[in-house]
Amino acid sequence: MTDMTLSAPEPRKRRSNWQLLMANRLAAAGLFLFGFIVILAVLAPVLPLPNPDITDQPNRLLPPFADGHLLGTDHLGRDILSRLIWGTQVSLIVGVSATALAAIFGSLIGLVAGYARGATDSVLMRFVDMLMAFPYILLAIAIVAALGPGLLNALYAIAIVNIPFFARNIRGVTVSIRNREFVDAARLSGKSHPAILFTEVLPNVLPVIVITMSTTVGWMILETAGLSFLGLGAQPPTSDLGSMLGQARAQLFTAPHASIIPGIMIFVLVMCINLLGDGIRDVLDPRLRSGALDRPMPITKIDRKTKPAATLEDAPALVVDNLSTGFDDGKAITPAVRDISFRLGKGECLGLIGESGSGKSVTALSLMGLVASPPGVITAGGVYVGGREVLSLREQELIGLRGGRVAYVFQDPLTTLHPLFRVGEQIAEAILVHESVGKSEAHRRAVELMETVGIRDARSRASAYPHELSGGQRQRIGIAMALANDPDIIIADEPTTALDVTVQARILELLQNLRRERGLALLLITHDFGVVAQVCDRVAVMKNGEIVEQGETGAVLRDPQHDYTKRLIACVPELGEGQAFLDRVRPLFVEART
Amino acid sequence: MSDNAVEMRDLVKTFGGGRSLFGRRASEVHAVKGISLDLQRGETLGIVGESGSGKSTLARMLVGLEAPTSGTMQIDGKPWAELAATGSRAFGRTIQYVFQDPVASLNPRKTIGEILDVPLRLLCGYDAGKRASRKKELVDAVQMPLDTLERFPHEFSGGQAQRIAIARALAAEARILVLDEPVSALDVSVQAQVLLLLQQLRDDLGLSYLFISHDLAVVESISDRVAVMYLGEVVEIGPAARLFAAPQHDYTKALIASAPRLTSPDIA
């Protein structure tokens, strides 16, 4: 392999879907109970049960545990246990087939509408909206009334009623997948639209279909029972759980067991299917699997063997001492950054440079305990802000430092600014969190800050929403928020990567001026040597979680010591160099290839 | 005429417009405003511009993913409209596209072998045996190991995925490649390697490239000629060396002045 950044990461052991499902106790219980019920229902013909349809008037309404009738008999003297198991079989078959039908037609509508867009989408979706506009049970009753009562017609009715649910869900997912580049790529590979829909899009939508199905089966069984209860589903003598309930209703007070038993069965069945469905959804949804929806702790977990000194004499604005952070996957801690040390003085700018995966962002986030925990753990080292070790502080004190003494500027302000609040309010909020000033005072200062960061006509722009501003202006707002509480240190994580070069130049100039005027210590994280050359006094080069070289920017760029730095710098094309660049870098990769 | 791999004349693309259900006029976006460009055979034409300048729209029109509002294009001597009428396969055989985000351009649920199989089957019409041997050749041409074919896209780094995406574009045996920011998502060392690979493939196979990027230095390193786009128009075009040494248009000058450099004269 020729990519030099390709370190050999250890194959992380992912738990299989089955293991994940079993780890969820409720889902596992649901699965086993459901499995037990299904087996009982399937085995109904071979179990030693009396015929469920044979009436025996003299023995009507026997209580449970009567001779020969474990669960008693109903108003016609039929054995309830036998009817329960046969009825469960009917309910399951109807519920599952209705789900399958709804899933097939609903998904088909959703797929076609989402993929075709335009007029097809409008027509199909308005049809679906029409189905949704009727109360579902009324619609089902109307369908059954038109087709005539009967189990099969009830099944159709329930399937039709549930089509919108699938269609809407699947359309949404399809729309997002349709815009992915691999769909365009498949078209350029010569695939026809139907082929793309069924061989490229469908496999990516399938997990969503399965999840939706697993969460609807229970609901479908309930609806079948509902229709049968009303006498529109199963017709005598066949019965499902719903019709058992309906027929026993008249004797509710004289023989409650006849209605309570099928009621309990419906409850247990639906509950265990829902638990199982939730479990399946959790397993198949990648966001849940990665733990992204777990609530992170307010600060990164700190687990250091030795505690560093609480204060440091004569310390510059920021000192990082042998900091190590890793990710805990439950079994072992995989280190992400190791033994990072650097110092940053007032008014100074340090560039932290490295390729993707080198640990620069983890370093930046570790400083204020912002690495998400779980899985992040700070395993060693200390961070000194103004000579005080901050990772030993109490949680509230550390949180108070964030945005106060130490402020962050992130890569994409569109994702860090709240889309529904005016930018002025957001800057004012940043002030109010740390200082108790009046609202109007905070707003006045917000406008001032916007002027400081070079937003023209700040007073009126303060009432703009983030999406109304250009990328460069948004990043200026991000910087204004960072400046809100007069910080000593600004940590800027790829602040210009998402911007055009002409805008980048202006943002870098702004950061430079702020640094000079306010004596800010600036930690600039970037992958771009050009940016470092332009802005930073000193630079630290990171590779695989370690700083391999650190020094004055000019010296490092002119005369890099470490092989990795040499190679990185050599790979940066210089403007004006033209095609000579490729001839220059070719020898670097020749030995790697052979 | 046949000297040119691609000819564009007065190409215009406007998004939006038209009327909504209630007769209100929707707002229009003029993405491309009357562009005329030629790509010669065996040449690499660089297109530089910032976001919103219309570079990607231009590229997507060339490969038939978008239809122009007006204007004409000739691709490999064939009129665009004729290709569009015959369907996406005709396009795929003449011109191919490499996407910016290599990982997103590979279907996560298919192996690399399956992905490469599609153009070989549908565009070249090879039988199974020929396809298997071509796949091996392609993987080899982009300097990837043979076991690549059995693996899934997520198992590769960005640079490797971009090599695979290039292999897919090559599979169609088209002689013209549109490269839309092919190295922007990559780290510098990987970027250099992909550029080297592209240069070598062009020389070995006699390909013509339309190379789109926002990075001036990258464009300069691989292009013979460079066109600068600004708000949907080509403001300047010329040989790469001349254009960057002596820019004429104000916008080009601003671009060049803004580009970060390692050795800039104005830094103390």
Cβ–Cβ below 8 Å for A582 and B190: no
Chain B residues with beta carbon closer than 8 angstroms to that of A586: 196
**pLDDT value of residue A453:** 87
Residue B154, amino acid: H
Residues in chain B: 268
Positions in chain B whose pLDDT score sits under 70: 1-2, 17-26, 263-268
DSSP, collapsed to helix, strand or coil, labels residue B49 as: coil
Please give the Cα distance from A236 to A558 (Å, whole number): 92
Q: What are the φ/ψ torsions at residue A349 (nearest 5 degrees)?
A: -125, 120
Residue of A2, A179, A183, A189 for testing the chain B interface, max B β-carbons within 10 Å: A189
Chain A residues with beta carbon closer than 8 angstroms to that of B195: 582
For A:121-180, CB contacts with B below 8 A are 180
Cβ–Cβ below 8 Å for A5 and B245: no
Percent of chain A clearing pLDDT 70 (strictly above): 95
Asked whether B182 and B97 are in contact (CB, 8 A), the reply is: no
**pLDDT value of residue B120:** 93
DSSP, collapsed to helix, strand or coil, labels residue B242 as: helix
**pLDDT value of residue B116:** 93
**pLDDT value of residue A294:** 60
CA distance A386 to chain B (A): 29
Cβ–Cβ below 8 Å for A534 and B267: yes
Please give the Cα distance from A419 to B201 (Å, whole number): 45
**pLDDT value of residue A285:** 67
Burial of residue A376 (CB within 10 Å: 0-12, 13-18, 19+) is buried
pLDDT at residue A405 greater than cutoff 60:
yes
φ/ψ region of A519 (left if φ > 0, alpha if ψ in -120 to 50, else beta) reads left
Instruction: Say if B148 is an interface residue toward chain A (CB within 8 Å).
Output: no
Please give the Cα distance from A40 to A211 (Å, whole number): 25
Cβ–Cβ below 8 Å for A575 and B91: no
**pLDDT value of residue B104:** 87
**pLDDT value of residue B267:** 38
Residue B20 vs residue A426, higher pLDDT: A426
By C-alpha distance, the chain A residue nearest B125 is: A190
**pLDDT value of residue B101:** 85
By C-alpha distance, the chain A residue nearest B239 is: A578
**pLDDT value of residue B24:** 67
φ/ψ region of A523 (left if φ > 0, alpha if ψ in -120 to 50, else beta) reads beta
> Tokens 């036998």 — which residue?
A82
Q: How confident is residue A371, by pLDDT bands cut at 50, 70 and 90? A: confident
pLDDT at residue A277 greater than cutoff 90:
no
Asked whether B248 and B83 are in contact (CB, 8 A), the reply is: no
Q: Which among B50, B13, B27 is positioned nearest to A471, based on CA atoms?
A: B50
Task: Average the pLDDT over each of A150-154, A168-172, B135-139 and give the range with the smallest value.
Answer: A150-154
* Alpha helix stretches (DSSP H) within chain B: 55-62, 80-86, 88-94, 112-122, 128-141, 158-171, 188-205, 216-222, 240-245, 250-258
Per CATH, the number for A301-405+487-593 is: 3.40.50.300
Residue B168, amino acid: R
CA angle A505, A510, A513 (to 5 degrees): 125
A522's tokens: 């600036």
Considering the four listed CATH numbers 1.10.3720.10, 3.40.190.10, 3.30.365.10, 1.10.150.20, the one that applies to the domain covering A17-45+71-289 is 1.10.3720.10
Q: What are the φ/ψ torsions at residue A36 (nearest 5 degrees)?
A: -60, -45
CA distance A244 to chain B (A): 46
Instruction: Say if A536 is an interface residue toward chain B (CB within 8 Å).
Output: no
- Residue A27 makes CB contacts below 8 A (sequence gap 6+) with A21, A275, A276, A278, A279, A280, A282
CA angle A131, A134, A136 (to 5 degrees): 90
**pLDDT value of residue B18:** 65
Cβ–Cβ below 8 Å for A186 and B91: no
**pLDDT value of residue B195:** 92
Task: Average the pLDDT over each of A488-502, A564-578, B253-267 and give the range with the smallest value.
Answer: B253-267
* A180, A184, A533: residue with CB nearest B264: A533
Residue B18 vs residue A52, higher pLDDT: A52
A244's tokens: 């058992």
Asked whether A26 and A275 are in contact (CB, 8 A), the reply is: yes
Q: How confident is residue A12, by pLDDT bands cut at 50, 70 and 90? A: very low
Q: Which among B194, B230, B267, B237 is positioned nearest to B39, based on CA atoms?
A: B237
**pLDDT value of residue A6:** 39
Please give the Cα distance from B103 to B140 (Å, whole number): 20
How would DSSP label each residue in A403-435? TTTEEEE-S-HHHHS-TTS-HHHHHHHHHHHH-
- Asked if the peptide bond before residue A9 counts as cis, ω within 30 degrees of 0, the response is no
CB contacts < 8 A, A to B, total 197
> In this predicted complex, what is the ipTM?
0.87
**pLDDT value of residue B39:** 93
Per CATH, the number for B4-257 is: 3.40.50.300
Chain A residues with beta carbon closer than 8 angstroms to that of B92: 188-190
Residue B192, amino acid: A
Indicate the domain borders of chain B.
4-257
Please give the Cα distance from B268 to B263 (Å, whole number): 10
**pLDDT value of residue A576:** 80
pLDDT at residue A9 greater than cutoff 70:
no
Q: Are strands B208-213 and A376-385 parallel, antiparallel or unpaired?
A: unpaired
Asked whether A569 and A560 are in contact (CB, 8 A), the reply is: yes
Instruction: Say if A210 is an interface residue toward chain B (CB within 8 Å).
Output: no
pLDDT at residue A343 greater than cutoff 70:
yes
B199's tokens: 């240069």
Residue A99 vs residue A9, higher pLDDT: A99
Q: How confident is residue A392, by pLDDT bands cut at 50, 70 and 90? A: confident
CB atoms within 10 A of CB B225: 20
Cβ–Cβ below 8 Å for B263 and A574: yes
Indicate the domain borders of chain A.
17-45+71-289, 301-405+487-593
The 3-state secondary structure of A513-531, one letter per residue: HHHHHHCCEEEEEECCHHH
> What is the overall mean pLDDT for chain A?
85
Instruction: Say if A577 is an interface residue toward chain B (CB within 8 Å).
Output: yes
